[in-house]
Amino acid sequence: MQLLPVMEGLHSAEAFNPAFLEAFFRRAREVENRPLEFSEALRGRIIATIFAEPSTRTRLSFESAAHRLGASVISVTDPKTTSGAKGETLADMTKVIGSYCDLLVLRHPSDGASRLASLHAGVPVVNGGDGRLGHPTQTLVDLYTLYRKWGDFEGRTVALMGDLRNGRTARSLAWGLALLGARILLLPGKGLDWEASFERRILDKFDYRLRWGKHPLFAEWTGSSEARVLEPKGLVQKSLFREDPPEIDKLDAIYLTRMQAERGADVGSGGYPGLTPENLKNPLMESCQILHPLPRCQELPASIDHDPRALYFEQAAMGPIVRQVVFLAMLGEDKWPLPSLAPLPAGSREHDLGLCPNEGCVTRSEGIQAPWRVVGLARRTFLCSYCDSLLPVDYAGCRSTHRVHPVHSQAALRISPENLRPFLRRDEATDAGYTWGG
């Protein structure tokens, strides 16, 4: 059985590549500076927006982007008004709505929902935020906001602060920043750090290394003066080898996120990290751009709104511009082409690994088996194709030879992805007709 076809549309920041981002930023500049040139670009096209979670900025900026390009919009803003409330599956709903439109934007509470929808919609699907997994168009907004200030990301240090465990915008942005060569400083709230497997994928994919850095201000935010830093190998900064861990003496940007209480986030009595006007007087923050995907809570006081370093309302204003470029890339590719996104395979359901371990995965809510995909060159890592959760695999079989090997062995690494068959236990492989090694 071959791996299923790639998923059409934009579902993850993992699909970005440097050539795409560089061209995307240039096109966004064109749209921002010469909006009238694009005002009829998608005349006659219909864009559907389906928002099964509350949204203000994302939904309205997508719909504003469509109107600015001359497209028509049909919308679902309350899942209680759809046939989903009657038990209709996401697959059926998107298959029907896909027949009414040329492109579908989906926000959904389940991780990986847009990927599942893309296999049934028949039109490109754009992820408007799914569960805690990711928000790729918000990452394009965030990156473009910084691009307008910097032009280049290499050597920049960007801190991600707040709820990294449940904050989909921070996860997507981390992937984008690593792709552009930035250093990433992690300042999670207590008990709100992301899982190690996600961080390991960033380190492996981009040949990054994990280091620690320190600054007294970190203790005010997280309770510890030390923080993890993800950075390109070979990147050297002033005091890097003079002390361990080195002092972080400058932040180029800080990205705050609110606590995602709707996903069960809770820091108890430990407090939640955030900025104060006093923080901005610290030399660490002297030239630090402040971003936030909004809405905000106590972590970002209104008293700093007029500080020239506060970019979050400018960031929000970039939403329609960036999403116009997304629509042009998907529906106007003949006239406004961009380099291709990296394909995400839809994966294979041939396995006996059981349910996806992520209870928030769309496969759980839809009652279907989780397909798998494989990543990594130096090691085999099996992920749920929809929600990217790590699947428990200890043995890798080869479908052409019907031999099975330890998943991290050299023999397993030589098996092409489309020829793999994952197993949790050796006896399961034997029962399936596979023989050991050799």
Q: Which residues are catalytic?
A: 57-58, 86, 107, 135
User: According to the 3-state scheme, what is the secondary structure of 79-111?
Assistant: HHHCHHHHCCCHHHHHHHHHCCCCEEEEEECCE
Q: In one letter, which amino acid is 321? A: I
Roughly how many angstroms between the first and final C-alpha of the chain, as a whole number? 23
For 57, 64, 385, 406, the CA distances from 129, given in Å and listed in that order, are 12, 17, 16, 36
HSE value, Cβ hemisphere, 13 Å, CA-based, for 42 = 28
Task: Copy the structure tokens of residue 71.
Answer: 């497209």
Evaluate whether 192 touches 283 at the Cβ level (below 8 Å): no
Evaluate whether 205 touches 180 at the Cβ level (below 8 Å): no
Evaluate whether 105 touches 48 at the Cβ level (below 8 Å): yes
| CA-angle at 241, arms to 238 and 246, nearest 5° | 70
Task: Copy the structure tokens of residue 148.
Answer: 């307008």
Rounded to whole angstroms, the Cα distance separating 252 from 183 reads 10
